[in-house]
Amino acid sequence: MTAFHMRLLLGIPFFVLTAFATPASFCLLKLVGSGGGAPDGGLWVQVVMAGTWATTTTAAGIIGFQRFQGTLEYMSHSPLPDAAAFFPLLLSVVLLGAVVSVPESLVLCAALGAAPSLLPAQWISCVLVVLSCACLAPALAVPCLHTLNSAAFEPVFLVVVWTLSGAVLPVSQLPTPLAQAAWATPLAHACAVAEGGAVVPWASVALCLILCAVYGFLGYRALLRVLDKSRTTGKVGLM
């Protein structure tokens, strides 16, 4: 089902543009912002994070898009468990960004003089970024069942998490309240793993996995509860 949804998304210009244009834009902005300094060999990981999270934010409106297509009520009343019906849909937007961002970031960084160093910690960081996005996607999808304008929140989710992840600025350079908030998100720890160089910071890996489990559990519980309430009140297609 995830592959099926991904094929459908690749036929929609909005999702294709988000998946391909965001990593390129982020990479160029990072290089311009470096002020001509030495290119960072780990830039490609930050680009992967930016691209994957950009498509993940569309989870805020992807269920609303199903409402627009007229398939939301059928999905919510499917004989399949809710997790089996909705998880592939949410996972598809995450994997769309990851599948596009990884090769695009490697090519862009190599072409623009920021040759990827391809260290083990960086590959582990990429895997953790995808896992983190998959665990955060359900929480983004919950608002769409409460409002028809949930897609309007996507830019807010995008910029805030980009900032807190440490991809735009190191978390250590953020104001103390923001830095504390950043370390409460799995993406900040996922990006921190890439900074380990030749040595994998397993403490950051462990913290990222723990936070992924917490956010994933709470997000899916909230999503399933909202779906159940919507079915009970008969407002799946109207909310």
Q: What share of the chain is helix, strand, coil (3-state, %, to 5)?
A: 75, 0, 25
- Report whether pLDDT(214) > 80: yes
CA dist 186 to 80, 88, 121, 211, Å? 30, 21, 16, 5
Q: Say what the pLDDT of residue 48 is.
A: 94
The pLDDT confidence band at residue 182, using thresholds 50, 70 and 90, is very high
The total of other beta-carbon atoms located within 10 Å of residue 50's CB is 27
Could you tell me how many helices (H) and strands (E) the chain has, helices first? 11, 0
Q: Say what the pLDDT of residue 59 is.
A: 75
Q: Which residues contact 53 (CB under 8 A, 6 or more apart)?
A: 97, 129, 133, 158, 161, 162, 165, 187
Residue type, 84: A
| C-alpha span between 172 and 107 (Å, rounded) | 29
Question: Tokens 């983190």 belong to which residue?
Answer: 132
The total of other beta-carbon atoms located within 10 Å of residue 97's CB is 29
Q: Say what the pLDDT of residue 239 is.
A: 46
Which of 19, 87, 98, 3 is CA-nearest to residue 58? 19
Question: Tokens 């910029």 belong to which residue?
Answer: 159
pTM of the model: 0.88
CA dist 96 to 23, 108, 212, Å? 12, 18, 19
Q: Say what the pLDDT of residue 118 is.
A: 85
Q: Are 139 and 222 in contact (CB under 8 A)?
A: yes
- Report whether pLDDT(36) > 50: yes
Q: Are 130 and 214 in contact (CB under 8 A)?
A: no
Which of 11, 7, 95, 90 is CA-nearest to residue 51? 95
Q: 75-124 pLDDT, tens per residue?
A: 777 788 877 888 888 899 999 999 999 999 999 998 988 888 888 999 99
Query: What percent of the chain is predicted at pLDDT more than 90?
Result: 38
Q: Say what the pLDDT of residue 1 is.
A: 79
